[in-house]
Amino acid sequence: MATGTNIRTYFDGAWHDGDVPIMRAADHGAWLGSGVFDGARFVNGLAPDLAPHCARVNRSAEALMLRPTVSTEDMVAIVREGLAMYPKDTPVYIRPMYWGIDGDITAIVPQPDRTGFAICLEEIPFAAPTATATLGRTRFRRPVLEDAVVNAKAGCLYPNNARMLTEVRARGFTNALVADAMGNVAETATANIFMVRDGAVFTPIPNGTFLAGITRARHITNMRADGMEVHETVLSFDDFTKADEVFMSGNMSKITPVTAFEDTQYQAGPVTARVREMYWDWAASNG
């Protein structure tokens, strides 16, 4: 299913118009879940942190025992070739992907000799600066490395996120604030999470249960360079009920203010606004 429109697909060494077929019924990724992807954004002619996103999809492939076949540098060049087909004001979601083709004698273990690769570009509108989110609690948790490939951006992890979203949306929230295996806050169902209290910024410390995102790292770097106090630490759900501001961080929208967590209400405050401003100032110089 296509999320966006105006799709272009890179497959078998060439760009194609449209949402072209890239996987066969017997491919390992089609029936045994050995698929990874990453996501970057093209907004106002900028593609911030494109190289780190391309590098991460190669690391994700290795985590699923796949052999990456395209270097970061070549992948960036291919993506930029595809982006040149769009007007500069077109908001594009950039999705490089790998998947297993063959399995071993048991079929379960993907074989590294052949790895599928594609890039999908989709026109997807960028969220308005006024867009906000509300968070509810979910009974579903983030897995640990012993249970799942949490060190990869893998498609097989996302059915669990879908359960989280379905559960909280049934109660009127737009996203879920999710616990790790120990019951501490990890992230939301779709993005990393930050909270602000007394002017200081807090975010869950990476503990191997969630991907500490590229955009998350960029925000932390920008905030510290601006003199903000930023703490990566263990956070409870109770901490979020005492926060002054809460915001989500992810590639799709970069920063999204949170206006409620269960019965706790927030305002989209000055720290969130400053983090957004710093991100786009950085992107204009480096994107």
CA 149 to chain centroid, in Å, comes to 15
CB 136 within 8 A of CB 171: yes
Angle at 117 between CA 111 and CA 118, to 5 degrees: 155
Residue 86 placed within a domain? yes
Residues of the chain with pLDDT under 70: 1-2, 287
Integer distance in angstroms from the first to the last C-alpha of the chain? Answer: 29
Task: Return the structure tokens found at 14.
Answer: 């060439």
Amino acid at 164: M
In a domain, 146, yes or no: yes
What confidence score (pLDDT) does residue 47 get?
96
Whether residues 144 and 281 share a domain: the answer is: yes
Note the pLDDT of residue 8. 97
In this structure, the answer to whether residues 161 and 270 fall within a common structural domain is yes
Q: Transcribe the chain into DSSP letters.
A: --SSEEEEEEETTEEEES------TTSHHHHH--EEE--EEEBTTB-TTHHHHHHHHHHHHHHTT----S-HHHHHHHHHHHHTTS-TT--EEEEEEEEE--B-TTS-SBPTT-EEEEEEEEE-PPPPTT--EEEEE-S-----TTTS-TTS-BGGGHHHHHHHHHHHHTTT-SEEEEE-TTSSEEEESSSEEEEEETTEEEEEPP-SSS---HHHHHHHHHHHHTT--EEEE---HHHHHT-SEEEEE-TTTS-EEEEEETTEE----HHHHHHHHHHHHHHHHH-
C-alpha to C-alpha distance for 215 and 147, rounded to whole angstroms: 26
Q: What is the pLDDT of residue 287?
A: 62
Question: Checking DSSP bridges between strand 200-204 and strand 192-197, what pairing results, if any?
Answer: antiparallel
The pLDDT of residue 105 is 81
**CA pair distance 120, 222, nearest whole angstrom:** 29
pLDDT for 217: 97
Instruction: Give yes or no: residues 76 and 117 share one domain.
Output: yes
Looking at the structure of the chain, the number of domains it has is 2
Domain check: are 140 and 56 in the same one?
no
Q: Which domain holds residue 261?
A: 133-286
The pLDDT of residue 129 is 84
Q: Is residue 128 part of a domain?
A: no
The 10s digit of each residue's pLDDT in 245-273 is 999 999 989 999 999 999 999 999 999 99
Query: What pLDDT shows up at residue 112?
Result: 86
CA dist., res. 187 & res. 177, Å (int): 6
Amino acid 144: pLDDT: 95
Asked if residue 23 and residue 113 are part of one domain, the reply reads: yes
Predicted pLDDT at 157: 96
Question: Do 103 and 20 belong together in one domain?
Answer: yes
Pair of tokens at residue 7: 């799709």
192: tokens are 């990393």
Q: Is 208 exposed, middle or buried (0-12, 13-18, 19+ CB in 10 A)?
A: middle
Strand partners, 227: none
Tell me if 140 sits within 8 A of 164, measured CB to CB: yes
Identify whether residues 56 and 91 lie together within a single domain: yes
Same domain, 112 and 236: no
pTM of the model: 0.94
89, 180: one domain: no
Whether 93 contacts 219, CB under 8 Å:
no
User: What does the pLDDT look like over 157-201, one tens digit per residue?
Assistant: 999 999 999 999 999 999 999 999 999 999 999 999 999 999 999
